[in-house]
A and B are shown apart, each in its own frame.
Chain A
């Protein structure tokens, strides 16, 4: 199956760049719906750091499609800072969960502690780790899209 390039004459390079941004949107939307599933369906209360990561994840769901239709490579310029800050917060939380950062400088002691692990699959995959994976992949996709779309 090929995806028709219904943008301007961009050739294979823009086609790939479009696809990278699209993949990034797919990941952002899956993550956002996943986060909503955890909090609204499974009713796991989100900790403060989760909220901050949501703040940088949710806008991408709306922002990226605006750059997809019609394809505007400059969408990377607007989306990458959001993804990068979200990535930094997710790194902080993963380090907190792993105990690398001591609990004393943990910013959220009220409500749900951010070092608490509510779900764990395979012994190491927990929600903060999923967020870290998502943000890492999104940053990589956006950077790749930036270089692909350069003339």
Chain B
């Protein structure tokens, strides 16, 4: 007690003695700054959030027709009511990591989920790999080729650089005619499909891979849990 009162008796070395004389007080300047900064943060947050949700709504409205494309490779039963459209780059590491999780979602809900893949070769040199994938479809080996490429990705990409010639040794086990793939991969219809995929990706504002749309709905933000949540919601709506 006595210590406390003694401390209080000590003269404050630099107490705000007088109020503002001829100007604005320091306290007022400080308080104004605090209020202004917090207000700027709050206004910014509200503006950003509303801008985001408006952008997502516009994309979703436009997306239905772009996502319904019939040219894309499809996995699963056509009558499945939950349709995942995945934009992927075969050279993208995250795509390779996410792929088994998507397969597991499908295995956990047999017959209820179908998957379409659209190609967005953002990595340099990756479009060559996409051509191989597209050519594999003629021999009905698309999914086998995709899985073989994902499994060996670290051997034909180094630091995000694609070495297209290195993929061939890894495709031996797929069981398709590789000579035929080499012959057909530069066909005009493949180039047209690739252009359509890229055009749709631009229209849907797909800037990163992988990007998923579940029955037309994009993920609120990227993440496995977000994807699983989106699929769960759509399954509940479609099969209640």
Chain A positions near chain B (C-beta within 8 angstroms) = 1-8, 18, 22, 26, 29-30, 33, 36-37, 40-43, 65, 68-72
Contact = CB atoms under 8 A, between A and B. Distances in A.
B19 A22 contact: no
A5 B21 CA distance: 8
Contacts of B21: 4, 6
Nearest to B17: A6
Contacts of B40: 33
Contacts of A70: 12-16
Contacts of A26: 33, 37
B30 interface: yes
7 contacts: A6-B16, A6-B17, A6-B18, A18-B26, A22-B29, A33-B37, A72-B13
A69 B34 CA distance: 14
B187 to A, nearest CB: 37
Interface stretch (B44-52, B62-70, B76-84, B114-122): B44-52
Given A6-B17, A6-B20, A68 B26 contact: yes
Contacts of A30: 37
Contacts of A3: 23-26, 29
Contact of A42 (B24, B37, B48): B48
Given A8-B13, A29-B37, A43-B221, A65 B24 contact: no
Nearest to B49: A41
Interface string B30-62: 100110011011001100110000000000000
B41 A1 contact: no
B37 A4 contact: no
A72 B41 contact: no
A72 B37 contact: no
B23 A7 contact: no
Nearest to B44: A37
Contact of B41 (A7, A37, A65, A71): A37
Contact of A36 (B15, B20, B41, B49): B41
Contact of B26 (A4, A37, A72): A4
The 10 closest A-B pairs by CB, nearest first: A70-B14, A2-B23, A4-B20, A4-B23, A6-B16, A41-B45, A33-B41, A7-B14, A8-B14, A4-B25
A5 B29 CA distance: 12
Interface string B82-117: 000000000000000000000000000000000000
B27 interface: yes
A146 to B, nearest CB: 17
